[in-house]
Chains A and B, each alone.
Chain A
Amino acid sequence: MMKMTSPAELEKYRSSILEGIDSGRPSVSVCCGTGCSASGALEVVSAFERLLEEKGIQANINTKITGCHGFCEQGPLVLLSPGNRLYCKVTEEDVDDIIEETLLANRVVERLLFVDPVTGEKIEKEEEIPFYKKQLRLIFGDNGKMVPTDIRDYLSLGGYSALAKVLKGMGPQEVIQEIKNSRLRGRGGAGFPTGLKWESCDKAEGDIKYVICNADEGDPGCFQDRSLLEGNPHLVLEGMIIGAYSVGASQGYIYVRNEYPLAVKNFSTALEQAREMGLLGENILGSDFSFNIKVVRGGGAFVCGESSALITSIEGRIGEPRYKFVHAAEKGLWDRPTVLNNVKTWAAVPLIINRGAEWFSEIGTEQSKGTMIFSLTGKVNNTGLVEVPMGISLRELIFEIGGGILEGRKFKAVQTGGPSGGCIPEGLLNLPLDFEKLAEVGSMVGSGGMIVMDETTCMVDVAKYFLSFTQEESCGKCVPCREGGEHMLKILERITRGEGEERDLELLKEISDTMQCASLCALGKLAPNPVLTTLKYFPEEYLAHIKDKKCSAGVCKELIEYLIDPEACTGCGRCLKACPTGAISGEKEAVHILDQEQCIKCGNCMEVCRFDAVSVE
C-alpha cells in the first residue's frame, strides 16, 4: 500500500478505488460480529466460499465478511445487493438456495425473510424492516457495508475525508470550535460537552498531551463499542486522529476491555493499515502533524471504565480511581493534559467535520444533540444495536423498533444506563430519551444499555443483581462504596430470602444517600440507583417480599414453589428424569408429585414438561 503524502493524493487514490468498484456486481455481506459468529456465521461464509467456487462463479460475486449489523436477534444475517435484501437466521444449509435462487435467479428465498412479530408480514428489504426503518444509522450504518479489516472499503465510503479536510485547511482551534458548535456530548456516561473538554486540554500547559479512547465497555448488556471497533475501526481511529490534531497530542491510547479479543485484533489491523498509508504516524498526509496510537488491554475490571481508574491502569497500577479536583484535560495521564473520550464519541467526530456542526445540532433535542446508539436487550423481540436520534420516546424504541415484548408478555420496566442507571416503569414509557430527561427520573443514558423486563422479572432481584455486580467490581478503596455497598447487598439478599424487615427499606435509603454523596468515584455514587429507582417505582414488590414473603414474578427461590397441575400432568415421566434431587415421584401415566422438601427450585421440570403442567407460584 502506498503512503499518501497529501490530502490530494488521498482523494486521487479514493477515486481510483471507486472507479474500480463495479456497482452492478452482486454482493453478499455476511455479518460476522461476535454475536453472529457465535451463531454460525463463519460456517455460512465458508459455505459461500466453497459453493461459489464449486459453481465457478466466485469471481462474479463480491463476498464480504462485515462487522455487526446490529440486528443480533435475527443473526446470522446475510445482506444481498443489489436490492438490499436481508436474510435472517441463515445456516450453512441455506447457502446453496441463496446462491441458486437469489444470486443467480433473482428470486427471494421466502423462509429466510424477516417476519414481523406483530403483523406476521414478511419483509424483504433491510430498510423496510421496522427495526431498521425507524433508526437513523449515521454512525453505525456503514458496518454492514464494509470489510472492517480492509481500509479501501472505508475509503470507498468516504473514510478519512474528514481528516483530509482538517489537514488541508482547518486549524486546531477551528476544529475545536466546530465540535463545540455541534454541542456533541460524551457518549460514555457523563455526557460532558466534548468541545469544552478538548478546549481545556488545548489551553492547558504542557508540550506533551494525550488522547485516550475508552473502550472498556463494562456495562453488562452493552456491546456498541465492541461492534464499532470490530466493524468500523477506522471511523473511531479517524476521530481520534482529528482530536489529537486539535489539542496538540502526539500520542494516543485505546484502552480495550480484555474480553473483546476481536475488537483488539481489528483495531490493531486498522492501525497498521493507517500507518502504511501515512494516515497515522509521522507527518500525517504530508503535514507536520505526527501522531501514534498504542493499544492497551484491560485486565478485567469494570471500574477501569471510570476515567481516573483507566488512566491509573494505563500507568501500570491497579484501577483505583483518584479524587479529581483538577480535570484530566489539565492533568491526566502521567499528570499531562489528556482528552479521554468514549468510542462512540470519537466515532461521531468525522461525521461532524464532514457534514458540519449545524447539521449535527439539528438532530436530537435542545440539550442532547445527535444520535445515540442504544443496546436493546432483555425480554424484547428485536434484540440488537439501535441508533436513533436523541429525543425518541422509550415507547417507540421498545415497541416499534424493538418489536415489543418476547412471547407477547407485558412490559414491566426498562433498565437504562447499566448498573449506574435506574429502572423506568410503564407509566414513563413516553419519556423522550435524552440526558436530562432520564436523569430527572433517577436513571441515565449512560453508555446506552437498555434492558427490557417483563412480568417474569422480579424488581427486587434486579436491584440485588445490579448491586452484586457493583460490589464485585468495586475497587474497595473508599468506605462508603466498599462497606456501604456490601451492607446494602446483604439487606437485599435477606429480603429476597424472605428474611426482610420493614426498617430495611429506610436503611437502604440512608446508606444509598451516603454512598451517593460521599463515594470517591462514580461507581460508588451511582451504585444505589437501581435500588432507589426500583424502590421508588415498585415499592409494592419490596413490601410483598418483606411482609407477605412472596415473589410475584416467581424468581426468588426461597419464596417460590414449583407445582405440578394434576389436571394437566400426563405422567410421561420427563420431569422425574430431569429432577436432580429425585423430588418428583410417580408411576408411568399417573399424575406425578413434587416433594417440596427435596425441591431445590432448579426449574428443570418446568423446562422439560411438554404439557404446561408445571408452574411457579
Chain B
Amino acid sequence: MTVDLEKVNSIIEKYRDDREAFIALLQDISAEYRYLPEEVIRYVSEEIEVPVSRLFSLATFYTSFRLEPRGEHEVQVCMGTACHVRGAPRMLDKVTQKLNIKPGETTEDKRFTVETVNCVGACALGPLLVYDGKYYGKLTQRKIEKLLEGSNDEDDQSS
C-alpha cells in the first residue's frame, strides 16, 4: 500500500517544536489514516530521529492505536461497571455473534470492527455501544440486531 506522505509531513511539521509529543503525533496520524501504517511509522521515525522501537512501543501500549486498518463501521461496546451490571456482556455476545468476529477483530468484508471500551461516561444509558461515534443506549438484543442490519440506513436509533 502506498501511503500519501504529504499528509505525514504536515503532521510532523506541526509537532516540530514539541519534542515529546509522540502520542499526539501518533493520534494525528491515526486520525488521518484510521490506523497506524507501518510505512508511516518508519518514515516518521527517520524524519524526527527517534528509534522505531519507541514508536512501536507506544503504538502497541495505548489502545487508541491500531496497527491494522479498521473496518468501515466501528462498533465499540461499553464494558464499564455500570453497563456490566445492566447486562453489557450479553450485548457484546450479541454483537460478536451477529458479526461472527471477536472483540478487536474486523469482519472479512471489512465492514465492521468490533471493540470493547471501558466506560465512556454515559452510565445512565447503560448498556450502551458507540457506533461510528454515535451513542446508542438502553440496548436490547433486538436493538442491536436492527442497528447492525440497518447499517446502511440513516435511522436514529437512540432511546
**Which residues of chain A have a CB within 8 Å of any CB of chain B?**
34-35, 37-40, 43, 72-73, 75, 217-223, 226-227, 258-260, 296-302, 313-319, 375, 377-379, 383-384, 415, 418-419, 449, 451-453, 457, 462, 465-466, 469, 472-473, 475, 578, 580, 602-604, 607-608
A179 CB → nearest B CB, Å: 28
Which B residues lie within 8 Å of A219 (CB)? 119
Contact B121 A604 (CB under 8 A): no
Choose one: B63, B123, B136, B141; the contact of A602 (CB below 8 Å).
B141
Choose one: A227, A316, A602; the contact of B21 (CB below 8 Å).
A316
Contact A299 B124 (CB under 8 A): no
Known contacts A383-B82, A469-B118; is-contact A35 B125 (Cβ 8 Å): yes
- In the complex, what distance in Å separates the CA atom of A244 from the CA atom of B139? 44
Choose one: B21, B64, B82; the contact of A220 (CB below 8 Å).
B82
B9 within 8 A of partner (CB)? no
Contact B20 A218 (CB under 8 A): no
Q: What 5 new A-B contacts, CB under 8 Å, besides A219-B119, A418-B81?
A: A35-B125, A72-B123, A452-B85, A578-B141, A602-B94
Contact A375 B141 (CB under 8 A): no
Contact A608 B158 (CB under 8 A): no
* Interface residue tally for chain B (C-beta within 8 Å): 50
| Sampled A-B contacts (13; CB under 8 Å) | A34-B135, A35-B123, A39-B137, A72-B125, A223-B119, A259-B121, A316-B20, A378-B85, A378-B86, A580-B97, A602-B90, A602-B141, A603-B87
Contact A384 B124 (CB under 8 A): yes
Which A residues lie within 8 Å of B58 (CB)? 299, 316-318
> Which of B20, B84, B135: most chain A Cβ within 10 A?
B84
Contact B85 A451 (CB under 8 A): yes
Find residues 92-134 in chain B having any chain A CB closer than 8 Å to their own CB: 93-94, 97, 117-126, 128, 134
Give the 6 A-B residue pairs with the shortest CB-CB distance, closest first. A299-B62, A220-B80, A223-B121, A38-B135, A72-B124, A316-B20
Contact B27 A297 (CB under 8 A): yes
Known contacts A223-B121, A451-B85; is-contact A313 B23 (Cβ 8 Å): yes
Contact A415 B118 (CB under 8 A): no
B146 within 8 A of partner (CB)? no
B10 within 8 A of partner (CB)? no
Known contacts A218-B119, A315-B20, A472-B118; is-contact A39 B126 (Cβ 8 Å): no
- In the complex, what distance in Å separates the CA atom of A258 from the CA atom of B117? 11
Choose one: B21, B57, B84, B97; the contact of A318 (CB below 8 Å).
B57
> Which of B27, B62, B65: most chain A Cβ within 10 A?
B62
- In the complex, what distance in Å separates the CA atom of A473 from the CA atom of B57? 16
Contact B81 A221 (CB under 8 A): yes
B45 CB → nearest A CB, Å: 13
B77 within 8 A of partner (CB)? no
B139 CB → nearest A CB, Å: 11
- In the complex, what distance in Å separates the CA atom of A318 from the CA atom of B81? 26
B22 within 8 A of partner (CB)? yes
